[in-house]
């Protein structure tokens, strides 16, 4: 399937034999090519299944792991097979099969690039290798060795021409550098790792997720754009910068009045004089360097505002290599920071196995930065930073660094940072809230506090916080509430650290976190678990709260959680949701469960059994065959209210559209 039609009533599909592009009402059904007569199923008849390549020859059908094949035979070449076009006369945007003209045009660009490649390499096109890293290893495994491999020849020709022109322009150096920065942003939309949003009719940029992800059907964007515009074209990127500069000169505030967004210009002009604010009359100062050493006087600043790395979530230095490889070409002769072949990340504060950096390195690095901040802050100064993470150990590492540096947490404020449609959280049950963490210097040793006293305070704080959050924001996810509440509890613990005791033994950060998690978990989960169990059934609630979106879970951790709810582990082991391997429970997918569900007696089918079975049938394309075999009563059983609730919960958590489609398309027909 190439894309949805713009009226959303059909789909563009491509014939695997002749390459003809035509529309169908349902791409999941068998269809016949109107040009060559080939019968095929657009949804099933491809040669890729997950990580496998399958030979389409019916006499062969050999199945190979794609990465292994690439490592043996090299990176496969892309093939131009379709063009999205814009007609300036009628304003139509549509798709067509790539014809001889399109192919010849591409070949011309390849030939022209070949004629300048040697001269341009290292000057206008990066010649550096992609360094092995946590984020880059997947790309390297797929045959991308150099940064230039991320682009086809026509892209390299166009990008090389553009950068060459920018560097040769007779303009003020500041203007040139603004154009170079604009060029680097524009690269996100001009590479062969860009995918296509098939129902939104535009391409995704490279970093729709924080990763280098090779795509099956890459999109070559038009560098120069067309009269019909285009996402990520150079003139649009330049216009964005111009708008930013206009705002810089005439800043304004936005506000909502009568349901409409209004703008109000600022009366006072913002003026800054750059320089050393401690030795002359400057009021703005910019430095670049290691944050564990700040060349400014001690106790001289009012506030430190920072955004520390999120533990091991995003490898920023690895991702920035993509831009650095191109920026270096333009800036290495002027700035020492760009002379190194790769991003200088030796002192980066991160957890990265490939770089050999673990949790201990993260804590030491972050503590050094926070200690320097403490030294430079006035006694009544604030250190404020944002953080969000689902992992308990990440919170522990950050808290340890804050406390080791001589701070305590005076306040935490949750702020929604990512929308439901943000691609970075797309298809993830992720945290959408940043914690704004306010820290103050610890001026005196706190009073000794027994853990049981703090535990009581935490218990009531958790209850109040959950009520407040659920009252204010009905669509808060379980992860959101959990993280926000954990943050609030750590605020309380930090005020008494390190004088927190159980008997005569000090309570460590790890012990405190584990106890806080248990309190939050029991409070947070109890009401919600019972509510979901009442709407569906107990086994389904267990799946939705403890197993969904996981491939495995330890026997002990699940058993501990079930004991809190007086649910026998035997019931879960006999449910067909998991398979036990030693002390690990492997969580089965709906397709893996299909035969298990078929073997069950009807009266033993839980809501999750029925939801998974319908999903498996939909995935296999046999749902409508199954529908024909059902009586009205049987349809009502398979899509009863508990099953519909379960399907809706699964869609909310997994963001897999199949669950939503089952409810939307089948419920009106099955439930009368």
d(CA 210, CA 309): 13
Judge residue 11's burial from the number of C-beta atoms within 10 Å of its C-beta, 0-12 exposed, 13-18 middle, 19 or more buried.
buried
Question: Can you name the residues that pair with 301 across neighbouring β-strands?
Answer: 377
Helix (H, G, I), strand (E, B) or coil at 82: strand
pLDDT of 418-437, one tens digit each? 544 443 333 334 556 788 99
Q: CB–CB of 495/408 below 8 Å?
A: yes
Average pLDDT of the residues in 88-100: 90
Residue 273 has pLDDT above 80, yes or no: yes
Any alpha helices (H) in 377-450, and if so which ranges? 392-404
Q: 529: how many CB neighbours lie within 10 A of its CB?
A: 21
Residue 322 bridge partners (DSSP): none
* Residue 474 pLDDT > 70: no
d(CA 527, CA 524): 7
Residue 576, sorted as left (phi over 0), alpha (psi -120 to 50) or beta, turns out to be left
pLDDT band at 270 (very low <50, low <70, confident <90, very high): confident
Domain ranges (residues) in the chain? 358-522, 536-670
Average pLDDT of span 166-194: 95
82 backbone dihedrals φ, ψ, rounded to 5°: -150, 155
Pairing type for strands 48-49 and 578-581 reads unpaired
Cα–Cα distance between 575 and 597 in angstroms, integer? 9
**Average model confidence (pLDDT) for the chain?**
88
Decide which of 288 and 342 is more confident: 342
Q: Which of 113-122, 144-153, 198-207, 576-585 has the lowest mean pLDDT?
A: 198-207
Cβ atoms of residues 257 and 189 within 8 Å: no
> Which two three-digit tokens encode residue 458?
């935490």
Give the DSSP H or E segment for 408: strand 407-416
Calpha distance 562→538 (Å, rounded): 11
**Is residue 457 a contact partner of residue 492, using CB atoms and an 8 Å limit?**
yes
pLDDT per position as a tens digit, 15-56: 999 999 999 999 989 999 999 999 999 988 888 877 888 887
- In a 13 Å sphere around the CA of 458, the CA atoms on its Cβ side amount to 31
506 vs 501: CA distance, rounded Å: 4
Report DSSP state, residue 336: G
Q: What is the distance between the alpha carbons of residues 578 and 552, in angstroms, rounded to a whole number? A: 8
Task: Please report the pLDDT score of residue 418 as a whole number.
Answer: 54
Contact yes or no for 371/406 (Cβ under 8 A): yes
**What phi and psi values does residue 287 have, to the nearest 5 degrees?**
-130, 160
Round to whole Å and give the CA distance between 151 and 114: 14
């Amino acid at each position: 399937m190439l894309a949805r039609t713009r009226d959303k009533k059909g789909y563009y599909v491509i014939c695997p034999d002749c390459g003809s592009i035509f529309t169908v009402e349902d791409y999941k059904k068998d269809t016949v090519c109107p040009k060559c007569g080939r019968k095929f199923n657009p949804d099933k008849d491809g040669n890729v299944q997950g990580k496998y390549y399958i030979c389409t020859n019916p006499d062969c059908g050999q199945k190979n792991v794609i990465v292994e094949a690439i490592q043996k035979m090299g990176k496969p070449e892309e093939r131009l097979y379709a063009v999205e076009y814009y007609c300036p006369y009628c304003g139509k945007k549509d798709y067509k099969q790539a014809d001889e003209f399109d192919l010849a045009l591409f070949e011309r660009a390849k030939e022209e690039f070949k004629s300048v490649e040697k001269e341009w390499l290292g000057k206008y096109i990066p010649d550096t290798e992609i360094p092995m890293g946590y984020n880059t290893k997947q790309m390297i495994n797929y045959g991308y060795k150099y940064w230039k491999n991320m682009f086809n020849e026509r892209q390299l020709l166009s990008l090389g021409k553009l950068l060459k022109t920018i560097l040769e322009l007779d303009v003020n150096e500041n203007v040139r550098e603004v154009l170079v920065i604009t060029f680097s942003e524009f690269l996100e939309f001009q590479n062969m790792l860009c995918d296509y949003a098939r129902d939104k009719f535009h391409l995704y940029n490279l970093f729709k997720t924080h990763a280098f992800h090779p795509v099956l059907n890459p999109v070559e964007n038009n560098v120069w754009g067309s009269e019909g515009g285009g996402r990520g074209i150079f003139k649009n990127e330049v216009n964005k910068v111009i708008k930013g500069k206009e705002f810089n000169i005439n800043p304004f505030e936005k506000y909502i009045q009568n349901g409409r967004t209004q703008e109000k210009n600022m009366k006072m002009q913002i003026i800054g004089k750059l320089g050393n604010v401690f030795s002359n009359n400057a009021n703005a100062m910019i430095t670049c360097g290691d944050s564990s050493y700040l060349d400014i006087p001690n106790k001289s600043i009012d506030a430190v505002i920072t955004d520390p790395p999120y533990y091991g979530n995003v490898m920023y230095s690895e991702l920035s290599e993509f831009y650095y490889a191109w920026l270096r070409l333009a800036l290495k002769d002027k700035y020492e920071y760009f002379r190194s072949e790769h991003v200088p990340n030796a002192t980066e504060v991160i957890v990265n196995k490939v770089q050999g950096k673990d949790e201990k390195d993260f804590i030491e690095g972050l503590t050094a930065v926070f200690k320097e901040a403490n030294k430079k802050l006035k006694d009544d100064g604030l250190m404020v930073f944002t953080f969000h993470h689902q992992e308990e150990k990440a919170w522990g590492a950050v808290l340890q660094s804050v406390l080791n540096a001589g701070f305590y947490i005076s306040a935490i404020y949750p702020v929604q940072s990512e929308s439901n449609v943000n691609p970075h959280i797309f298809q993830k049950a992720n945290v959408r809230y940043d914690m704004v963490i306010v820290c103050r210097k610890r001026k005196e040793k706190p009073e000794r506090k027994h853990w049981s006293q703090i535990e009581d305070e935490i218990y009531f704080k958790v209850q109040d916080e959950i009520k407040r959050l659920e009252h204010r924001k009905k669509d808060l996810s379980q992860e959101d509430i959990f993280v926000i509440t954990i943050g609030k509890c750590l605020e309380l613990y930090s005020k008494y650290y390190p004088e927190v005791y159980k008997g005569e033994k000090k309570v460590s950060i790890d012990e405190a976190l584990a106890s806080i998690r248990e309190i939050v978990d029991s409070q947070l989960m109890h009401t919600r678990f019972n509510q979901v169990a009442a709407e569906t059934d107990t086994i389904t609630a267990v799946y939705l709260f403890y197993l969904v979106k996981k491939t495995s879970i330890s026997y002990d951790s699940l058993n501990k959680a079930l004991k809190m709810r007086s649910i026998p582990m035997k019931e879960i082991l006999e449910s067909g949701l998991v398979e036990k391997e030693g002390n690990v429970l492997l969580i089965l997918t709906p397709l893996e469960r299909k035969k298990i569900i078929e073997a069950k007696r009807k009266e033993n089918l839980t809501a999750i059994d029925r939801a998974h079975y319908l999903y498996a049938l939909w995935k296999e394309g046999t749902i409508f065959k199954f529908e024909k075999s059902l009586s009205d009563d049987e349809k009502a059983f398979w899509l009863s209210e508990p099953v519909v609730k379960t399907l809706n919960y699964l869609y909310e958590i997994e963001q897999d559209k199949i669950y939503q489609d089952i409810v939307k398309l089948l419920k009106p027909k099955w439930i009368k």
